[in-house]
Amino acid sequence: MMTAREYEESLRKLNLVVYMFGERIDNPVDHPIIRPSMNAVAKTYELAHRPEHEDLMTATSHLSGKKINRFTHIHQSVEDLVKKTKMGRLLGAHTGCCFQRCVGMDALNALSIVTHDIDAEHGTSYNQRFLKYLGYVQENDLTCDGAMTDPKGDRSLPPHQQPDPDMYVHVAEERKDGIVVRGAKAHQTGAVNSHEIIVMPTTAMREPDKDYALSFALPSDAEGITYIMGRQSCDTRKVEENILDTGNPGFGGHEALVIFDDVFVPWERVFMYKEYEFAGSLVEKFASYHRQSYACKSGVGDVLIGATQTVSEYNGTQKASHVKDKIIEMNHLNETLFCGSLACASEGYREPSGTYCVNTLLANVSKQNVTRFPYEIARLAQDVAGGLMVTLPSASDFKSPETGKWLEKYYRASPDISTDSRRRILRLIENLTLGTAAVGYLTESMHGAGSPQAQRIMIARQVNMREKQKLARQLCGIEE
């Protein structure tokens, strides 16, 4: 297993084509806006080497029998699924943001199931290819970016009817030694911090869409791949001389639009090729795993609740009954998020491939809660923190010999707490509820792993409504 330092050095060896603010970034690892997101991924490597976290952060490979980082593991039991949930909360609490490695883990597990199912139906050898690739990922402890979301173009039209065929990743050319692909994947969290990109279809498909029914893996610096970094609220605070105003200067998350401009993929890295009838299955398996992964939000919630309790003490309001009640409600909502992820893991089951999958219904219920509860937790945090969270002057003003003395005087609350401590905790709350981390905590809570409506559709499909009706009729005496 790699250490955090070895992970960082491995990224320096990549030749990524990355653009931000209209300019190419020659060194993404040390760029002040990207660096905090790299630090968050590095934490997944660091904690795996700590004895106190070994049980959650590592596993035994079912391929090699070696100890591996859990992010490269294929779930072999319900216990594995439960540990994945607990690992997510642990890392969310240690970083206060998205640590970006879940999506690759979820892609690997979904493919371990669906490649086996395709082979059983068509006599193909995708699963053998995949297991060879998995061994490579485990042996080298690689971070994988799971790429599912296409730009989609006109969403009223299926892939094959799009005016621009590149709105969905598709086959541009078939060769004897592989395929050439074209298109893009949007909202790719942690893409520039990854060694590999695992591409999957973004929706269920029919026969006319077969050229879009693709799954494959590529090195993240493969020729023809370009990354265009997304903007975030308050992102340029990270390039200021004094980065105290970022709130969480050490960690963050970042997304990119990933362009595939006629990229070659060798056959040994292709895991689905035009088997359109399995595209929906792959989407569903991946989505179920990834909706479970939002246990990380309960870890970030732990940080936000801790910050809210702290600011109430700094403000001198911690004894007010309404403040106590708000923090109780924050804890109630946060633990409910954790319960949902634990539930879908605990009700997991074994697929024919041998991989254990979460309960799909409960995974979607869990993620539906994630689209709501963090917003209420954030609202309560802002309520307790007060308006100073968004009117606080800059760190430079606090350092200024002309203005600093006044700010130290008028922004002091409790005589036992320094003004510096008070503004630091306020900036952290701002970061988690409004700033760059809000992308990972709030907006990602809403749209990550699919929109709220996507979960509601799956809940409607998975619930056994006829059984519920049968029970009701039996109790009130209605004959079948």
Check the CA dihedral 314-316-319-322 and report its sign.
Answer: negative
Q: Is 325 helix (H, G, I), strand (E, B) or coil?
A: helix
- Distance (Å, rounded) from C-alpha 31 to C-alpha 137? 26
DSSP 373-427: HHHHHHHHHHHHH-THHHHPPPHHHHH-TTTHHHHHHHT--STTS-HHHHHHHHH
- Per the annotation, the verdict on 189 as an active-site residue is yes
Q: What 8-state DSSP symbol labels residue 443?
A: I
Catalytic residue among 44, 75, 187, 255: 255
Q: Is 357 a catalytic residue?
A: no
Catalytic residue among 196, 284, 430, 444: 444
Reading the block at residue 206, the tokens are 């029919």
Residue among 267, 261, 185 at smallest CA distance from 222: 261
Q: Residue 324 has which token pair?
A: 């106590």
Q: Which candidate, 68, 217, 198, places its Cα nearest to that of 139?
A: 68
H/E run at residue 192: none
Q: Which of 471, 454, 469, 437 is nearest to 36 (CA)?
A: 437
First to last CA, the chain: 60
Clarify whether 139 is annotated catalytic.
no
CB-based burial label for 244 (10 Å; 0-12, 13-18, 19+): middle
Share in percent of the chain as helix, strand, coil (round to 5): 55, 15, 30
Which residue out of 144, 296, 344, 357 is catalytically annotated? 296
The tokens describing 444, both together, are 């990602």
- Is 241 an annotated catalytic residue? no
Question: Which residue among 102, 144, 344, 357 is the active-site one?
Answer: 102
**Among 189, 202, 355, 371, which one carries the catalytic annotation?**
189
Of 62, 85, 97, 98, which one is the catalytic site residue?
98
> Could you give the C-alpha distances from 9 to 2, 6, 16, 105, in angstroms and in order?
10, 5, 14, 22
Q: Which residues pair with 171 in a beta bridge?
A: 181
Catalytic (active site) residue 310: no
Q: Examine the residue annotation and report whether 290 is marked as an active-site residue of this protein.
A: yes
**What is the distance between the alpha carbons of residues 448 and 190, in angstroms, rounded to a whole number?**
13
Give 58's contacts (C-beta < 8 A, 6+ positions apart).
1, 48, 67, 68, 69, 70
Determine which one of 294, 314, 356, 441 is catalytic: 294
Q: Which of 284, 290, 310, 441 is catalytic?
A: 290
Q: Which residues are catalytic?
A: 98, 102, 189, 255, 290, 294, 296, 444
